[in-house]
Structure 1
């Protein structure tokens, strides 16, 4: 039997599910009456989604579609960081949507400190964009998970490699 138990705290999302969401939106844009002739384009890069539309109202419709489809695909809405839209040439608007992935250094330090202060019997290590929580007792780790779940953070948290 193992001496210590551990788990990792990460902030991640399923990239393929995001691709599926974008494909569904593109399909709906070509079929829906109010969006059909709008010339709306969606482009996905590694960490951003760029939406170009002919009006602010169309942009808001696409934003609502994105949120609805993401929920249906079990993607957390916290991964989307909507930037303000900007006017571009030809009476068109453009919006960047940044995708949040990984824990920032400041957030990792904050979570690490809160866990160590509230549960004395665990150790927390920052490993790049994730946290490794270790302890001798599984109950302490469960308490740490519950403490993290109660936090209202700007990024979604997942718990992996529970050993």
Structure 2
């Protein structure tokens, strides 16, 4: 009897690594000459899964965003994990940008992934389980083909990870 193999597609984010990346970004900002004497704030709210960047101008916000993104990449985090929600002016001519931290696959994206897997006509069975997609099949080669297929999908917003390969 053939044993079924499976793996999970998810968008989990290691919040500890995210905190470390934010702390490193704060350290770099505190030592950079171009941020001396300027109001700069990097605030990570883990419970609400929100990252707030505040500074005195749009150019400083862009530099701040680049610093945070580079620290995330160095920590092995996907930059797709940050979804810009809004940019707003705050008191004193300062600018604030709010990012939502993406750590789950949304329903419509999950349906799009499942549809793409089914359209590929591979002998696998994808199923949506909460914020994960479980793909089951008899051959490991088919599962690896599914991973390659999903990685090629460029229009996805979530930072996908593949785990529980058994």
Q: Give the aligned partner of residue 102 of structure 2.
A: 100
User: Structure 1, unaligned stretches of length 5 or more?
Assistant: none
Once residues 143 and 72 of structure 2 are traced to their aligned partners in structure 1, the CA distance between those partners, rounded to angstroms, is 30
CA distance in 1, matches of 2:118, 2:82: 29
Question: Residue 126 of structure 2 corresponds to which residue in structure 1?
Answer: 124
Question: What are the residue-to-residue correspondences of 1:64-143 with 2, within 5 Å?
Answer: 64-143=66-145
Q: Cα offset for 1:84?
A: 4.0
| Matched ranges for 1:44-63 at <5 A | 44-46=44-46, 47-63=49-65
- Offset, 1:62: 0.3
How many residues are treated as equivalent by the alignment?
Answer: 163
**Using the alignment, how far apart are the partners of 1:69 and 1:129 within structure 2?**
26
Structure-1 separation of matches of 2:126 and 2:86: 36
Could you tell me whether the CA contact under 8 Å between 1:119 and 1:140 is conserved in 2? no
Query: Whole-Å Cα distance in 2 between the matches of residues 101 and 21 of structure 1?
Result: 16
TM-score if structure 2 supplies the norm length?
0.92
Cα RMSD between the aligned structures? 1.5
**Structure 2 Cα separation of the partners of residues 116 and 100 of structure 1:** 25
Cα distance in 2 for residues equivalent to 1:59 and 1:117: 42
Equivalent position of 1:158 in the other structure: 161
Structure 2, unaligned stretches of length 5 or more?
Answer: none
